[in-house]
Structure 1
């Protein structure tokens, strides 16, 4: 035996030090008492064999060592040996260890001398002299793997002689790993202990998946009258709590014990490793705060120790399960491990039972991912790769889902099978559906290495672009850049070409997009139904988002204002999965002719019928915008918030950014500038500004509009360079309008007017001149009034009021009209604007209208009314975050009194309604007419309101009334 093996034996000898330092046994008192009784019988010349069985890591070795220490203290001679995988093929290795134990203890050998070779000389375990010169017939008669009879006889004589001085304990650990010859020798010795002072104690793995000899070891010994079997089971919850108490404290240990037992199956080795993985703490855990198990390095090592002590079959099966588990295909385990099902089908089942008993598995799967990770990390690279390749082949042959097969292809970095590319692409699409972008990208990265022709490379590149787009639209472009030449020359398949055109449009590459669309149009008659529907959808999309480009494409077939026929719309709707085409056509209709009940109903249907994904995001966007431009921003806000929450849960930054941009636009239309600023900043932060392409106009314009209202000026730090192509899109119109508002607020009147008139000119030329989309005439008229060009301002205001639009748009138009009228005409027009805006709920525009009404009353000398209305306007400006307006009104009135919202609760609904109208400057007769009540009733409501609010008259109402 080599020096290393001898050192190993010495390290496991239960001397006083190890006995003292070993962890205390838990729930093993009954087993120790039974061993003590058997030792007493042994001392009385009634020897026996004891087999301690249990799962891997169940504490068999700890129990054996505890008893060895007790026997040694009682005066027994203790000889130890152990089986191991490394020495399993070393003949007589375990018997040699037992013999050497006598040498270590200074015991006499069979002759009575204190020799250095132990119970028998070392030569007794090696080749005999006659074996070196030629085998005799007698030697040939001994089968391979059997010890020579004279060796066992000599060993037995030595043990019997030794037992005359003191009881002898033979302790053999892990007999399931013992070499075959030693195992036969132990059977030989076990049959002869009945009347001797020798006690043989062996530990073994419960239900080992061994060969027939190891089964014979059990059956031959257990039928002997002096053979006993002790079963070492898992720890109970109470036992787990006992192990945890020194570290956690009694109370915390009791609370934590069920969770720790569930993770370890009650395996003492795994349990103590988990305790070791706990972070260092100065003392027990606080009461009521049980420590949660957190498997770390020690736990992983303990799992591997369990497996190695269980033998190579255990470790091999565990590795196979670790490889197969992620794909959920454990049924293929025998084939993966090349087990012959016709001969040894029960063997894997027994090993699975052993792994379950060890607390490593539960229901055929690892109890914790840390255990699986430790097993996989223990596999060397080539072995792991081979297992994954074999698993992929088996799964594919069994018809498993593509994603299950792809798991192993990616792990093996292997895709050269004829079916590998198809499997990886299908798995990537499935992964994207379940929002696993990382998995999809890994599959497509490997698929890219397996491509053999241009068509395959294009397919993979566009799939990678689709996946990347969800997290970073800019990164998506690099995958498809090599495909642009093929797009321009018509060498790209139609479906690939349509996808690439959409990306070109997003990034503002209109020349490439135009060339690609023209090439598709030249072979329109050759396109399949789906490609034709996709082409018509893009053309409809251009009408709403890229009107100049739409006109250029329409010139190909000589049709101004091209629109697909009804039959084409029907085909496209079915080919594009339902709501997609109706959403974009409805948006185009709204931008051209305004909204009606049918368009709102269609938009709501699309929102209800359409799930959020990469393909339908555009459909949802257009449906939301239809609601906004139909003056139903309240409904759009609710839907948008719902989709935003879903996008955040599904961790899709591009979705979040786009929806945040839409939500910012909705907030602008609601007059909620703080919300608009918040959502616009989020949109420009979630994905880099340069990746927005032409779409950056939406969040940037919302941010500019919001900061113009709130007085914040931190815009440039979030804005990326604006692509020139943006000004050829709908987003460019929004940007020009917002910039015009900003310049107007800064007093740059001519620059503001230039932006606003340019915006209007483009909207008119593109036939999307809808005031509810961009009310450019309102701001242009207000600018013209400040420039003294009132006639032009009035003409624009009248034109605005003649265009389609809801209440909010009309209220804004009336305000612009009032600015162009004589001072005496303004109050009536502004009162009408206030009524409309108050009814529509746009508090920001209402604040502006009230500010103008206050100014009109002041100019006409009605200072009391002016003061009352100013106070109300201040409150509204404060609520809307319109700090510049609030400051201007405060400077004008010298009164910055906040409202007292709780006081208004003392009024009845009728009293509150009348009081609010009175606070806005209306006379009793005007209030009566508006509410369809008598003047007397108005007076009665006001009298009660004054009394409840403890004020002297209507001049004091705005001071205390929250409106």
Structure 2
């Protein structure tokens, strides 16, 4: 581990073994060996502090400086707060380690709180490439830490070393060293008698170094050890650990018993009331324990047993009745001090079933943990509170536990709790609506869409009758379930049926209705309404409902992308992401990033899309609901880059069946596209026929949602299914005038051109390809594919000069974008056409077709904004084009540009093709 830190890498190493085998000694050795060139932080789990949320992690990280693991100042959803803490810790560690390697040494990890364990697991999976090391020691019990370690080792993200007891020779060496310190002792352990003595010590102690120390004391005092034969070794070891207490006064024994309930390390002030000792008795007992070396002072006001084995032996020696009584006293004392998290543990250990104070304290501890984002601890507390209620569980407690389970990523358990909450007689009004809404969401996450829909319907029926103020949010929940599973058409029918006049003032509902109707009816007015809702001056509650797709900003971004308004989309997304980051909303940030990937892919910015997807991948495991979307986005990127093998693997990783309709459509499109790229055209055509039927079933009218249509047309044409290709062209033409973007027009013109070419109608094919190539479409890869289609056709009809122009531009676009597969096809066609690829540094004076269009408009005196508007491009893109145009033509202004433009080609440039 230390070598890895020196080399700039990191990792996690776990030392596992029972008490007394040397885990702490090894951590001491690691700290010593690290030296001054490593920043070392140490922390130790405590049984008494196991209830403190993020206690171990904060103890390890916060003393290094500059990091606080508590929730952010702006309140977020519990699940969001939890993940935000993880990301903040990771980013801080990476920044700190960029100047000095960091080594975290964690002792007694088995006493960690569960949220610290989750954070340690999160970090362990992400430190291989940075100089951050984690070395932790733990026992097999309690089992939570050991189970986590086993999982990390199985995943290949951590290493584990199992510490074994001392061997027989090792025990002999240790015993010899211990006895040699007693100068008056004459028993040798290196002779025959001593070998037998060492063997007995090894057997009696089970190879445990601490117990061998205790046996050495017996040898010194009594001159020998009993024969192991016939001895109950477990009982012997327990008696051995407790033997020192036998001669102590009763107040010392009572003090030790109370202390053992509080943990191997404990606060001195807590012990007297738990032990029911007055101050004088407590002082006498404490003095006796310290005097006999059974306790040691660890820090101001704190003490610890000489060894955790001693503390465990004292605790296990308590009768069940005495143990429960001591835990009950500990609960009373800690609850009286307001330390509900610590008191909760003792309330459960004391089995205070039906005790209102205990139930209230454990519930409060759960609420406090949820508020801090420590959802695993919240689940444990709230589950314990339910058990203490002994069947008389309040509905609100069931609801709180359901929220905790859902925040912890366990929707099935959340659903069970929500059902219990909704059926509780004492849960009425808005809280009952909340339980039904949560049930609908949990069932959706558990992939039971029908049950989710029924819960949403029940919530709406109840809300209309008993909690009308909640109707708007319930409509969102119900339409959400239908939208996710059944598609735009059923969701549109449902929202029109539910949307009443009283909801017209609800901006979120208006946004949702516009969005659904855009998908179902190609309603271009939706973009204007959503644009007004997310204008520059609007302070949106981005991601307030974390798992709903109907956030106004995300809805706007989706439609703006389909409408090719990329500049507006990027501006709104930037503002939305800043707010989401400031509020610690991880789900919202990830959803915004995924929407950006879709936009970048459409714009041919593949390298940027890969970078955003890599960032998404770093947090994907903490937002499990996004796994499928991320895998499908990666598959789409792999297709664009020509890596069909990786695309197939990613589709497999995304899994089936896809319960969200958008995932089903994307998966079907990508599967057919992979076959098309592999020249399996008949299978691709059949796949697109299946996809078309699915789209009709879902009621997706806008063909831009998933850009399947041009690929379907190509597949049908190559399989001689001209009627199918014509039908797809007709689908696009039926809506293209209702849609604001240029892509549908490009698809229709290019598709009709392909049909004309397949039927031998050269004049029509030429006119349609010319029309398609001239369209100002801000989607470079779509333009490149049309150029490739037209160039390939021109080559086949013996027009190599025109073919080479189109093929060279297609190749240039594909290479610039990194679309390897498309570039390879364009390069192959260009070679057959007898052309050469353009130099990356184009000859001075030679403009691309797009640059010619920009130059022509600019030379007429139009502003950059006016040129951008006419060509449906961004102003920044126009500025980039003009910079290249000025450089190629050696001009400095639009006025000079007019005199240097190449003379336009005559109208019958390709007239010989008739």
- The answer for the alignment partner of 1:836 in structure 2 is 777
Correspondent of 1:389 among 318, 324, 328: 328
Per-residue CA distance 1:812-863 (angstroms, 9 max, x = gap): 5665465456332245433334x432xxxx4433432443354465467663
Residue pair 1:801, 1:810 contacting (<8 A) in 2 also: yes
Residue pair 1:668, 1:706 contacting (<8 A) in 2 also: yes
| Aligned equivalents of 1:929, 1:258: Cα separation in 2 | 64
TM-score (normalised: structure 2): 0.53
| Aligned equivalents of 2:674, 2:457: Cα separation in 1 | 39
Per-residue CA distance 1:717-773 (angstroms, 9 max, x = gap): 4243416xx37x454444444445445544135423423432442354xxx533443
Alpha-carbon spacing, 1:524–1:352, altered in 2? closer, same or farther (3 Å)? same
Residue pair 1:657, 1:687 contacting (<8 A) in 2 also: no
SS of the residue corresponding to residue 891 of structure 1 reads helix
Are 1:562 and 2:520 counterparts? no
How far 1:473 moved relative to its partner?
Answer: 4.6
How far 1:249 moved relative to its partner?
Answer: 13
Q: Please give the residue correspondences for 1:503-902 in structure 2 after superposition, counting only pairs within 5 Å.
A: 503-520=442-459, 522-529=461-468, 532-542=471-481, 544-546=483-485, 560-567=496-503, 570=506, 584=512, 587-588=515-516, 590-591=518-519, 593-594=523-524, 595-596=526-527, 599-600=530-531, 602-603=533-534, 610=541, 615-618=545-548, 623-631=553-561, 632=566, 634=570, 665=598, 668-671=601-604, 675=609, 679=613, 698=629, 701-702=632-633, 705-709=636-640, 710=642, 711-712=644-645, 713-715=648-650, 717-722=652-657, 726=659, 729-742=661-674, 744-745=676-677, 746-747=680-681, 748=683, 750-764=685-699, 769-783=701-715, 785-786=717-718, 787-789=721-723, 792-806=727-741, 815-816=750-751, 819=754, 822-833=764-775, 835-837=776-778, 842-855=779-792, 858=795, 863-864=800-801, 866-878=803-815, 880-894=817-831
Alpha-carbon spacing, 1:540–1:941, altered in 2? closer, same or farther (3 Å)? same
- The answer for the alignment partner of 2:378 in structure 1 is 440
| Aligned equivalents of 1:377, 1:784: Cα separation in 2 | 75
| Aligned equivalents of 1:791, 1:869: Cα separation in 2 | 24
Higher relative contact order (CA 8 A, sep 6+): 2
How far 1:627 moved relative to its partner?
Answer: 0.7
Structure 1 residues not aligned, in runs of 5+: 1-243, 264-287, 574-579, 905-911, 946-952, 955-963
Per-residue CA distance 1:435-457 (angstroms, 9 max, x = gap): 3233123223423423444754x
Alpha-carbon spacing, 1:923–1:605, altered in 2? closer, same or farther (3 Å)? closer
Q: Please give the residue correspondences for 1:138-537 in structure 2 after superposition, counting only pairs within 5 Å.
A: 335-338=273-276, 340=278, 360-362=297-299, 364=301, 377=312, 380-381=315-316, 382=318, 387-398=326-337, 400=338, 402-409=340-347, 416-453=354-391, 456=394, 463-473=400-410, 475-476=412-413, 479=416, 493-520=432-459, 522-529=461-468, 532-537=471-476
Residue pair 1:772, 1:809 contacting (<8 A) in 2 also: yes
How far 1:670 moved relative to its partner?
Answer: 4.8
| Aligned equivalents of 2:577, 2:312: Cα separation in 1 | 44
Larger radius of gyration: 1
Alpha-carbon spacing, 1:508–1:433, altered in 2? closer, same or farther (3 Å)? same
SS of the residue corresponding to residue 774 of structure 1 reads coil
| Aligned equivalents of 1:741, 1:321: Cα separation in 2 | 69
| Aligned equivalents of 1:708, 1:937: Cα separation in 2 | 32
| Aligned equivalents of 1:894, 1:805: Cα separation in 2 | 38
| Aligned equivalents of 1:344, 1:524: Cα separation in 2 | 62
Residue pair 2:463, 2:471 contacting (<8 A) in 1 also: yes
Per-residue CA distance 1:376-405 (angstroms, 9 max, x = gap): 65651457765543333233345x265453
Alpha-carbon spacing, 1:937–1:732, altered in 2? closer, same or farther (3 Å)? closer
| Aligned equivalents of 2:309, 2:449: Cα separation in 1 | 53
Structure 1, 383-392 or 311-320: larger mean CA deviation? 311-320
Per-residue CA distance 1:14-38 (angstroms, 9 max, x = gap): xxxxxxxxxxxxxxxxxxxxxxxxx
| Aligned equivalents of 2:603, 2:267: Cα separation in 1 | 54
Residue pair 1:256, 1:291 contacting (<8 A) in 2 also: yes
| Aligned equivalents of 2:37, 2:850: Cα separation in 1 | 70
| Aligned equivalents of 1:605, 1:520: Cα separation in 2 | 35
| Aligned equivalents of 2:742, 2:340: Cα separation in 1 | 55
Per-residue CA distance 1:506-554 (angstroms, 9 max, x = gap): 4453443444445455545532356545433323434643557995997
| Aligned equivalents of 1:688, 1:721: Cα separation in 2 | 21
SS of the residue corresponding to residue 548 of structure 2 reads helix
Alpha-carbon spacing, 1:506–1:430, altered in 2? closer, same or farther (3 Å)? same
Residue pair 1:334, 1:340 contacting (<8 A) in 2 also: yes
Correspondent of 1:927 among 855, 867, 884: 855
Alpha-carbon spacing, 1:256–1:481, altered in 2? closer, same or farther (3 Å)? closer
- The answer for the alignment partner of 2:143 in structure 1 is none
Alpha-carbon spacing, 1:600–1:923, altered in 2? closer, same or farther (3 Å)? closer
- The answer for the alignment partner of 1:33 in structure 2 is none
How far 1:943 moved relative to its partner?
Answer: 5.4
- The answer for the alignment partner of 2:130 in structure 1 is none
| Aligned equivalents of 2:264, 2:550: Cα separation in 1 | 35
| Aligned equivalents of 2:284, 2:593: Cα separation in 1 | 58
What is the CA RMSD across the aligned residues, in angstroms? Answer: 6.4
Alpha-carbon spacing, 1:931–1:373, altered in 2? closer, same or farther (3 Å)? farther
- The answer for the alignment partner of 2:866 in structure 1 is none
